[in-house]
Structure 1
Amino acid sequence: MHFDKNEYMKLLTYILSNCYDKPHVGKTVISTALYFTDFNYYEIYGEPLTKETYLKSKKGIIPKHFNKITEEMIEKNKLYFRKEPHYHTVLHRYYLKQLPDIRYSNKKKNLINRSIRHLITKNATNILKYASKDPHT
């Protein structure tokens, strides 16, 4: 199973385009949304969508290629990164330079939307509690 960089970038872009207006969504929420989308896809189709490797840490679920891919997207002027104060913490926020036209099949799009819909409404603290209850993490 080899990491699918293009699919990963596409999924990351899709997730970012769906949470750009959520002031509480930073790296932790995005990373967790990537994980659950991949895992839900795996449960249905027998392989993860992006074939990413996820690591568990005190800070939550960490996608192995996240930093490398986001740095590349920043260099290609597709993303903007900014640290923003948010109550008692600092969020690592990623913004798309322009909203993309991402095309997924209806089946795939519905699965992704179901996977991320409730996750992007949570802040980092709540999403870490949610992820810690998942027996697969």
Structure 2
Amino acid sequence: MDSLDHGIIDLLRQNARAGYGDIGEVIGLSASAVKRRVDRLVADRVIRGFTIQVDPAVDGLATEAYVELFCRGTVAPDELRRILSGVPEVVDAGTVTGSADAIVHMRSRDIPSLELALEKVRIAPNVDHTRSAIVLSRLIHRQHD
């Protein structure tokens, strides 16, 4: 990959619907050259798909929380993945350094449904307790996937 490929990817991250001609104007290539490069990036699996981002509130998931998860003893990441995979309100999670074992990002319809989802996590045998912070307003969101 060269700087032109990186430029194409950056522009597609901003707008996956950008036209090849529009991209070419910005990075200094013809539309056909941009198309060839995008086709190669797709074939090489550098670009794995084109998608849209929809406001979660449209899907009825306006309530958002970040949850610290604390476990009893040592729990393998695969076990945490198994526990959290069974809770559809979990949209992202990762093991972390510090006192918590994991940070979990949850989305739900409302506070009562968030509380039910948290209870599903809390009753798992290896979970000791959780500490939650409900998001009041989103300040910055960058998509890097």
Going by fraction, where is helix more abundant, 1 or 2? 1
**What TM-score, normalized by structure 1, do the two folds share?**
0.30
Bigger radius of gyration, 1 or 2?
A: 2
Greater RCO between the two (CA within 8 Å, min separation 6)?
Answer: 1
**What TM-score, normalized by structure 2, do the two folds share?**
0.29
